[in-house]
Amino acid sequence: MLSVDVSKAASFLPLPYEEALRPMLAKASGWLQNGGGKGSDFIGWVRLPEDYDKEEFARIEAAAAKIRKDSAALVVIGIGGSYLGARGVIECLCSPNYNLKKKDGPNIYFIGNGLSSAALREVYELAEDRDFSVNVISKSGTTTEPAVAFRFFKALLEKKYGKEGAAKRIYATTDRARGALKSLADAEGYETFVVPDDVGGRYSVLTAVGLLPIAAAGVDIKALMAGAADMMQLCRTGDYSNPAWQYAALRNELYRKGRKVELLACFEPSFRFMAEWWKQLYGESEGKDERGIFPASVDFTADLHSMGQYIQQGERMLMETVVRFEPDDDQMIVPRDEADGDGLNFLAGRTLHEINTQAMDGTLLAHVEGGVPNMIVRAGKRDARTLGELIYFFEYACGLSGYVLGVNPFDQPGVEAYKKNMFALLGKPGYEAMGDELRAKLAR
Ligand code: PA5
């Protein structure tokens, strides 16, 4: 089971902070478990690992099996919380090179997460000559980026398979009743999956939002949910034996002492998109009211050769959280070379994990020595169950941490600002006056 090692971070804090924070954490725990805190309409994810729609779960598994059978590619259209979790889990468990590997399942392409013409064209061309399906994901059903991408892929599917054939290959994950995507899906007869009302986008990876693409990649989603359920039990604990309490308390206290940036690090490159998911989770939950830790991420050891200099000796506003997995079973072993021209025979016979572990420990000691508090999240093997634990742990700790910080961890009012400006500049009906005003500002 996942645990948090605070020993290389707590020493940066002169006073015992746990006691001071205990009442606030107890209150925050109560708000997550029973409501009553800010944004409590959006705490449906807290019980999700046991309290989910079992009938829908079976439909997700059936849809994934159908996609794996009839599609060489699955195009996943979504942005933010409607995409990062699925991509994180798939890359972490199936590899960032998943699409290049020999496998039983479809290639998976993520699009609708931006407005780049080149990115859209590339996925369009990768999909057009093969049998493919589309999973369009948008809780609101009105987000511009995925809606624009969906237009292209809907038209392509209809051209390839006819309207009826296309409808059998489009899976829409959206609100139960509202939004343009829901209306379109009902009108066209797409199979639909629900983003529950009380689960916000960045907390939705364990709903159909994440589960359908993850299952289509061949990941055992029952194991994912089981891991999350185990962590849910642990997170119910209202004291410091709860790893989410330990993490939330420590990062808040370090923030108060001037550590404004948290780096999430991992020594497995396949973790990169899990870190992207984590950045959205924490950045969108805590960055408001002119407060909040800035979440950033690094891939080690690669980034030790780029960001390592700054981490070691730059401005001391950093804290670091390192996710460590237990070793994969299938280890590469460094071969012996009789000539030993590179002088590496001292490593011959050792597994890459053994070497990576020394890199982790060496980095830990160096960064702590350099003045960067380090928290270690010790996770199990890189499998579905472990990722379920990790996802729930980070979500729960985020809810606690946001409440301790004093913000609403479940809204994102700031995201609207760019959207309004973009609509006004694009001339969306109703935004005309604002468009004139913004154009004048740009011309100044
Ligand atoms: O966490 C959130 O709420 C956001 O990041 C959303 O997931 C993102 O803006 C996409 O929204 P939607 O799913 O409504 O298209």
Instruction: Give per-residue pLDDT as tens, 313-343.
Output: 999 999 999 999 999 999 999 999 999 999 9
Mean pLDDT is lowest, of 254-268, 389-403, 423-437, for: 423-437
Averaged pLDDT for residues 119-134: 98
* pLDDT tier, 439 (very low <50, low <70, confident <90, very high otherwise): very high
Shortest-distance atom of ligand 1 to CA 146: 15
CATH number at residue 353: 3.40.50.10490
Question: What pLDDT does residue 322 have?
Answer: 98
**Residue 417 CB partners (closer than 8 Å, separation 6+):** none
Averaged pLDDT for residues 198-205: 97
Q: Is 102 an annotated catalytic residue?
A: no
Shortest-distance atom of ligand 1 to CA 415: 9
* Boundary residue ending a domain (187, 219, 251): 219
Judgement on whether residues 269 and 393 belong to the same structural domain of the protein = yes
Judgement on whether residues 196 and 278 belong to the same structural domain of the protein = no
Q: Is 353 an annotated catalytic residue?
A: no
Calculate the alpha carbon distances from 119 to 122, 275, 307 in Å.
5, 22, 27
Is residue 411 situated within a structural domain? no
Report CA(79)–ligand 1 centroid distance (Å).
6
417 pLDDT exceeds 80? yes
Calculate the alpha carbon distances from 271 to 90, 124, 236, 331 in Å.
10, 26, 27, 18
Ligand 1 mutation target, pool 140, 175, 209, 394, most atoms within 8 A of CB: 140
| Catalytically annotated residue among 54, 102, 305, 441 | 305
Q: What is the spatial distance between Cα 46 and Cα 56, in angstroms, rounded to a whole number?
A: 18
Judgement on whether residues 261 and 199 belong to the same structural domain of the protein = no
Which residue has a Cα nearest atom 5 of ligand 1?
A: 80
**pLDDT tens digits, 380-401:** 999 999 999 999 999 999 999 9
416 pLDDT exceeds 90? no
Ligand 1 lining (C-beta closer than 6 Å)? 79-82, 138-140, 143, 146, 200-202, 284, 412, 415
Question: What pLDDT does residue 379 have?
Answer: 98
Q: What is the spatial distance between Cα 340 and Cα 334, in angstroms, rounded to a whole number?
A: 12
Collapsing DSSP to helix, strand or coil, 230 comes out as helix
| Catalytically annotated residue among 419, 420, 432, 437 | 419
What does pTM read for this prediction?
0.97
276 pLDDT exceeds 90? yes
User: Are 141 and 182 spatial neighbours (Cβ–Cβ below 8 Å)?
Assistant: yes
Averaged confidence pLDDT in the chain? 97
Residue with tokens 């020493």: 11
Q: What is the spatial distance between Cα 175 and Cα 193, in angstroms, rounded to a whole number?
A: 8
**pLDDT tens digits, 58-88:** 999 999 999 999 999 999 999 999 999 999 9
Question: What pLDDT does residue 10 have?
Answer: 87
**3-5 and 374-381: which strand pairing?**
antiparallel
Q: What is the spatial distance between Cα 4 and Cα 252, in angstroms, rounded to a whole number?
A: 15
User: Are 275 and 266 spatial neighbours (Cβ–Cβ below 8 Å)?
Assistant: yes
Indicate the DSSP class of residue 419: H
Question: What pLDDT does residue 14 have?
Answer: 78
Judgement on whether residues 243 and 167 belong to the same structural domain of the protein = no
The tokens for 147 are: 């809606």
Report CA(166)–ligand 1 centroid distance (Å).
25
Shortest-distance atom of ligand 1 to CA 137: 13
Judgement on whether residues 324 and 244 belong to the same structural domain of the protein = yes
Shortest-distance atom of ligand 1 to CA 202: 1
Is residue 271 situated within a structural domain? yes
Q: What range defines the domain where residue 119 resides?
A: 48-219
Collapsing DSSP to helix, strand or coil, 184 comes out as helix
425 pLDDT exceeds 80? yes
16 pLDDT exceeds 90? no
The tokens for 325 are: 């997995």
Calculate the alpha carbon distances from 130 to 66, 72, 74, 113, 214 in Å.
16, 6, 10, 22, 21
User: Are 106 and 216 spatial neighbours (Cβ–Cβ below 8 Å)?
Assistant: yes
125 pLDDT exceeds 80? yes
Q: Is 419 an annotated catalytic residue?
A: yes
Judgement on whether residues 268 and 299 belong to the same structural domain of the protein = yes
**pLDDT tens digits, 354-377:** 999 999 999 999 999 999 999 999
